[in-house]
Structure 1
């Protein structure tokens, strides 16, 4: 029975017709021809009365219309059932159609929309799970430390208070990252482009990262007269996340290099951050900028990812895309990781300031 129903659904003789109006015209024409032919055959050749001939013609036309029209309306029925499934929160089956008319286009657009909604729902569920996971650890650690201080298990000395402060700062960083991405998703963030000296943006960030992660040596290879037409706050955000990621994975005794240069009007500013850490496997070069991809590290064959909250590189990519630029992992000489940022600019947006 199911086999017969499947064959019945696949029988769509009018699918090659590119217009729904043309299909209706063909169906009407077919019905007129059938009505005239059956009536003539029944009245003239069989000698039936006209009313019986017309009745037979009407019955045959109804059957033929049902057969031919079934394939025309099947995508609409499938979309109706899919909408009911969508409203009930269940997975939406794909609408199967080979029709080239407007109904076929609608069915394909509906299928694409349903897939996007399913992907968005999956991302929402994953986001809630990841947020809960990311917040649980610092909150649990902070609670345990505060309880020890309150119960007198540990004296409220400078070391204990610094540990509590570190957990609070981590929570603050998480909330800042979440708010930044929420603003990005809502399209609320705008650029405030201005002509700035690149070193004036990079040097404070380098000093901050060097204080937070003193184990890695950071080298700056940026001409002091290099300028760019960028949003300084967003550029600092990009540099901060890239340097923090590089210094974290370079580790104590590691080396991190940040360099920038001007190239062409189409690619105004090229910024690269390189470290000599374990590097990122080529198969993870694209996914490393996804949200919540922080991992345990490069041990046990795992790819080296962003670490921390798992949002740093995602925020960096968002800030670069906001400038209309690109960010990608590129091959690094001698191992390690190199991330390149390219921000477009015009001739007047990027130039050298005379030292005189």
Structure 2
């Protein structure tokens, strides 16, 4: 039976030998820090094998084995260590190369734009990287699709806005040429038509500027307590002439007693755009219903329902994008700004922001609903579109704002 002193010598010898070998291994790893995974793992395995062999040989030497027994022992330990190290190096090299090649091929396919599955090379760490690569490929593919869609939308938008700007310019040119040639019997009427076309272009440029502020986040809201009924009343007055021309009535329900903490100018513009959208697409001699209700979480839902045909289900999520139109065949003329008599007579500002200023519908290059979404989101709200039985509903959800109660 070993004495405590002998056990202590054995432990001390083993610790010294192992520490020395591991020190050399750490130095080798540092020098080889840019090497392959296989070489790094081989150094670690070799260090473990050499530490065990060296410790064992040192302890045996201290135990005064015979020269013959020591020789046999050293050969057994040495051959076992070499064979184990060679086998470990071969296994590590094969597994590391296979895993690395799998991940490399996956990364190359992602770089080429492919959506890859999860090949799972076999090691847990590599499997986690592989899963992340597969997830990244899906997200990159979705991002590319979104960029492609936005790029196509942007091209359509510029084509439509160019057409919509050329139309009033062509009208102005034709009218001025008629005036120059003395081919008009009513110069005053011609001047009014020119002014009307200029107002139309001003409104389109104003919408573009408004949209740029919304998309860049530079729109400044001047919030104050606002009575919802007053906002709706102003917006309804602004579109009343347009609605009357088509025999459309606007019914209001549930609007009393609601307060909002909002910018009245911008919010009236958004509501006006929604009303014009409803009047434009509602059948002649029909009714539009404007209603409001309070949700349990201090939010207000304002809805505008018309009896139009609605929007295709796949387009509900895109109809608030810049440049979107319900149909590519829909003419720009039909979608262009709708002018009411008050604006043509110079009574309106053309800013589309309420206050009884002869509101004129937003230009038709897909800006109106995009502006609505921008204004509502700037108020920390959201816009929802729904196809319902017998019609179509656009709703805005707005926080009522606790500041209203404290003001």
Common fold: TM-score over 0.5: yes
Radius of gyration: which is bigger? 2
Q: Is the 8 A contact 2:118 2:131 kept in 1?
A: no
2: CA distance, partners of 1:178 / 1:28: 61
1: CA distance, partners of 2:295 / 2:149: 38
1:75 to 103, 115, 129: 103
Structure 1 match to 2:399? 344
Q: Determine helix, strand or coil for the equivalent of 2:400.
A: coil
Structure 2 match to 1:278? 309
Q: Determine helix, strand or coil for the equivalent of 1:28.
A: helix
CA displacement at 1:321 relative to structure 2: 3.0
For each residue in 1:323-348, what CA deviation from the matched residue of structure 2 results, as whole angstroms up to 9, or x when unmatched?
A: 33333234656x22222222233666
TM-score by length of 2: 0.59
Alignment of 1:324-335 (within 5 A): 324-330=380-386, 332=388, 335=390
Q: Is the 8 A contact 1:194 1:229 kept in 2?
A: yes
1:28 to 37, 41, 46: 41
1:142 to 168, 183, 192: 168
1: CA distance, partners of 2:381 / 2:169: 42
RMSD of the TM alignment (CA)?
4.6
1: CA distance, partners of 2:313 / 2:108: 44
Whether 1:243 aligns to 2:243 is no
Structure 2 match to 1:41? none
1: CA distance, partners of 2:322 / 2:398: 22
2:235 to 202, 205, 213: 205
2: CA distance, partners of 1:58 / 1:173: 80
Q: Determine helix, strand or coil for the equivalent of 1:269.
A: strand
Whether 1:256 aligns to 2:288 is yes
Q: Determine helix, strand or coil for the equivalent of 2:205.
A: helix
> Quick one: structure 1 residues 62 and 341, their matched pair in 2 at CA, closer, same or farther if it must change by over 3 Å?
same
Alignment of 1:15-54 (within 5 A): 28=41, 32=45
Structure 1: which 5+ residue stretches go unaligned? Answer: 1-23, 37-43, 86-91
> Quick one: structure 1 residues 131 and 77, their matched pair in 2 at CA, closer, same or farther if it must change by over 3 Å?
same
Structure 1 match to 2:341? none
Q: Which is further off, 233-242 or 166-175?
A: 166-175
Q: Is the 8 A contact 2:157 2:365 kept in 1?
A: no
Q: Is the 8 A contact 1:75 1:104 kept in 2?
A: yes
Q: Determine helix, strand or coil for the equivalent of 2:366.
A: coil
In the alignment of these two chains, the number of paired residues is 305
2: CA distance, partners of 1:176 / 1:342: 25
Q: Quick one: higher RCO (CA 8 Å, sep 6+), 1 or 2?
A: 2
CA displacement at 1:64 relative to structure 2: 4.9
1:93 to 114, 131, 138: 114
